[in-house]
Amino acid sequence: MSLAAPFTDIFGSPPTALASAPGRVNLIGEHTDYNDGAVLPAAIDRYVSVALAPNDGSAHRVRSTRFGDTTERPVGDPKRDDWSDYAMGALWKAGALGWCTGGMDVLIDSDVPDGAGVSSSAALITAILRAAADSAGVSVDPADIAKHARAVENDYIGMPCGIMDQMAVGLARKGTALALNTRDLSYEVVEIPAAWTFMVIHSGIRRELADGRYSVRFEECRHAAETLGTAALCLLTDAQKDAVAALPDTLRKRALHVTSEHDRTLAASAALKAADLDTFARLMSESHRSYSEDFEASTPEIDALVADAVDSGAKAARLTGGGFGGCIVVLVETAIAEAWITAFLDRHPGTWRV
């Protein structure tokens, strides 16, 4: 929907900028992004859209089409565990960059589900930063927008995430994946073969990155890296890889997942470019096993969904996103995709296609 007319109705004047960003699904490469590793996300056909304009006041007014009321908060207001925090964080960053100097009016519309592991927050922050830059007449490289969006998550929200989500929602487009090196931000946009279909299915288990478990895994990876004498857990020397076996059990398992996931993601990117379906499927399956057993970020319910997906004809399936709930991504041959998803959802009425 176009937000120009409803924005004008709500705030009394037209927006100065409109922008949007898609959600994303990570095909493979979990918790490698903040360990300087490889990731392979893809854009999904769901978007966060925003309309924005300065209001000449000292407060931001934020409204979502999902809610009936406008939230008004002072410029520079810190996080308060409210739904509007991500919008406020994006506006805080836009102000720091000189893209807005006072209060802003923002209208948000989204069909990207929250708590599903498909980057609704990164899409919202990215869309607002894009709109704020456009409103200020500033041209910004998409990779720089991604860096600013990550800073919002890290510095305002307090979420120690990597940069995968922000790069994915800023650079990927429907039908493509982003083969990204998070160490130097080099990337390649790769076309997904027409014979492959990736289904994103919500498990019915809502996940909250802010509930602490994501941060625990982040700290475990940091501790493992420090013990091994590196700042990049994905890029160990042969001697450091040998030393992983001597780590305390929890840190050993976290390091095993991260290092092997980096290698799997590089191999999966090559398989995608070569349209090698069987190799890509095998790597996805190995990724889920590692994510569940070594990183311990899955749940019994999600493990059961993944197993049933493969048993019922999918080439592979895995938990995607930060873990502990949200969505699975399933690789199905396009020729059977629609029949497969109908039968799968019928067997699992608490799930839905994203």
200/187 same-domain check: no
Please provide the average confidence, as pLDDT, over all residues in the chain: 95
Are 296 and 204 in a shared domain? Answer: yes
Q: How far is CA 218 from the centre of its chain?
A: 15
- From the candidates 36, 85, 105, 165, give the one annotated as an active-site residue: 165
Q: pLDDT digit string (tens) for 142-195?
A: 999 999 999 999 999 999 888 999 999 999 888 999 999 999 999 999 999 999
144 touches 138 (CB < 8 A) = no
The share of the chain scoring above pLDDT 70, in percent, equals: 98
31-50 average pLDDT score: 95
Give the residue with greater pLDDT, 119 vs 237. 237
Q: CA 40, CA 29: separation in Å to the nearest integer?
A: 6
Q: 266 and 156, same structural domain? A: no
pLDDT digits (tens, 9 = 90+) for 230-276: 999 999 999 999 999 999 999 999 999 999 999 999 999 999 999 99
- Interatomic CA distance for residues 173 and 259, integer angstroms: 28
Q: How far is CA 245 from CA 30, 153, 228, 250, 255, in A?
A: 21, 33, 11, 11, 9
**Cα–Cα nearest to 323, from 218, 202, 209:** 209
Residues 6+ apart with CB under 8 A from 195: 275, 277, 333, 334, 335
Residue 141 maps to which CATH number?
Answer: 3.30.230.10
Distant-in-sequence, close-in-space partners of 200: CB < 8 Å, separation ≥ 6:
25, 44, 118, 320, 327, 328, 329, 330, 353, 354
Average pLDDT of 107-136? Answer: 93
pLDDT at 72: 97
Half-sphere exposure of 172 (CA within 13 A, CB side): 33
Indicate the residue among 191, 208, 241 that finishes a domain: 191
Taking the model in full, what pTM does it have?
Answer: 0.89
Query: What is the distance, to the nearest Å, from the Cα of residue 47 to the centroid of all Cα atoms in its chain?
Result: 13
Considering the domain architecture, whether residues 88 and 228 belong to the same structural domain is answered as: no
Are 186 and 267 in the same domain? no
Count each helix (H run) and each strand (E run) in the chain, helices first.
11, 11
pLDDT score recorded for residue 174 = 86
Whether residue 124 is found in the same domain as residue 219: no
Could you say which of 165, 191, 217 is where a domain stops? 191
User: Two tokens at 207?
Assistant: 């996940």
Kindly tell me if the per-residue pLDDT of 210 is higher than 50: no
Instruction: Give me the mean pLDDT over the 59-84 stretch.
Output: 95
Same domain for 88 and 162, yes or no, is yes
Burial grade of 312 (CB within 10 A; 0-12, 13-18, 19 or more): middle
Active site residue 165: yes
Helix (H) or strand (E) segment spanning residue 43? strand 38-54
DSSP 248: -
Domains held by the chain: number: 2
pLDDT digits (tens, 9 = 90+) for 292-342: 999 999 999 999 999 999 999 999 999 998 899 999 999 999 999 999 999
14: exposed, middle or buried (Cβ count in 10 Å: 0-12, 13-18, 19+): exposed
pLDDT at 216 over 50: yes
Domain boundary among 175, 191, 207: 191
